[in-house]
A = this chain, B = another copy of it.
Amino acid sequence: MRADAERNRKRVLEVALETFAAEGLSVPVAEIARRAGVGTGTVSRHFPTKDSLYEAIVLHLVAEIVDRARQLAATRDPGAAFFEFFALLVEHSAVNLGLSQAMSGTGFDVHSVALAPEHNLLAVEEELLVGAQKAGAVRPDVVPADVKALMVGCLAREQQGSDPEARKRMIDLACAGLRAQR
């Protein structure tokens, strides 16, 4: 690959990352190109469809989160690992509008492209959930889809006035619901 092509590819990816994070996934491709200082043709050669641009960005972020989740699973007791993972996921998504939309399934379906083990958020989430349930830390009747829905709720909270305190409280509310009653 030619040096300038490589440079352009990275630049587009970089600009797209921060633009999607700040303004969401609905920003036009032409706008990404403009901010990156390239033509639309250049973007569409490196990323033939908008989805492929989403993929390149979101999968990278997801891989990071999955990695952190596995670390948690290895170093914490099952209950703490699960709740810390939940908070981590929300915190990450809350500061990145694009990721938040992908997680909420608005505009891009993460899970249909994130099947490789290093991207499989669903699998690692289920792993942590089941572990926490076996340890008696989470209600036994909860399923992964419930957890995801609560996460979407936390992210929805961000859209109406976002401050760290509200975010913490919101995570706390969700976790309190999930916790096994004694």
A152 on the interface (CB 8 Å rule)? yes
Q: Is the interface of A mostly helix, strand, loop or mixed?
A: helix
A43 on the interface (CB 8 Å rule)? no
Q: Which of A2-10, A14-22, A167-175 contacts B (4 or more CB under 8 A)?
A: A167-175
Q: How far is the CA of A159 from the CA of B104 in the complex (A)?
A: 10
Can you show 21 pairs from A to B with CB atoms below 8 A apart? Answer: A104-B156, A105-B159, A106-B106, A139-B173, A142-B169, A145-B157, A145-B160, A145-B161, A145-B166, A146-B166, A146-B170, A149-B160, A150-B150, A150-B153, A150-B173, A150-B174, A151-B153, A152-B152, A152-B156, A156-B156, A176-B176
Q: How far is the CA of A159 from the CA of B172 in the complex (A)?
A: 24
Copies of this chain, whole number:
2
Instruction: Name the B residues within 8 Å of A170 (CB-CB).
Output: 146, 149
Instruction: Name the B residues within 8 Å of A173 (CB-CB).
Output: 139, 142, 146, 150, 177-178
Q: How far is the CA of A178 from the CA of B177 in the complex (A)?
A: 8
Q: Which residue from chain B places its CB closest to the CB of A173 in the assembled complex?
A: B177
Q: Which residue from chain B places its CB closest to the CB of A181 in the assembled complex?
A: B176
Closest approach, in angstroms, between the C-beta of A110 and any C-beta of chain B?
12
A69 on the interface (CB 8 Å rule)? no
Instruction: Name the B residues within 8 Å of A154 (CB-CB).
Output: 149, 153
Closest approach, in angstroms, between the C-beta of A141 and any C-beta of chain B?
6
A: contact size bracket = 20 to 34
Q: How far is the CA of A104 from the CA of B105 in the complex (A)?
A: 13
Closest approach, in angstroms, between the C-beta of A85 and any C-beta of chain B?
17
A148 on the interface (CB 8 Å rule)? yes
Closest approach, in angstroms, between the C-beta of A53 and any C-beta of chain B?
22
Given contacts A146-B157, A149-B156, A176-B177, 16 further A-B contacts (CB under 8 A): A104-B156, A105-B156, A105-B159, A141-B169, A145-B160, A145-B161, A145-B166, A146-B166, A146-B173, A149-B154, A152-B156, A153-B154, A173-B177, A175-B177, A177-B177, A177-B178
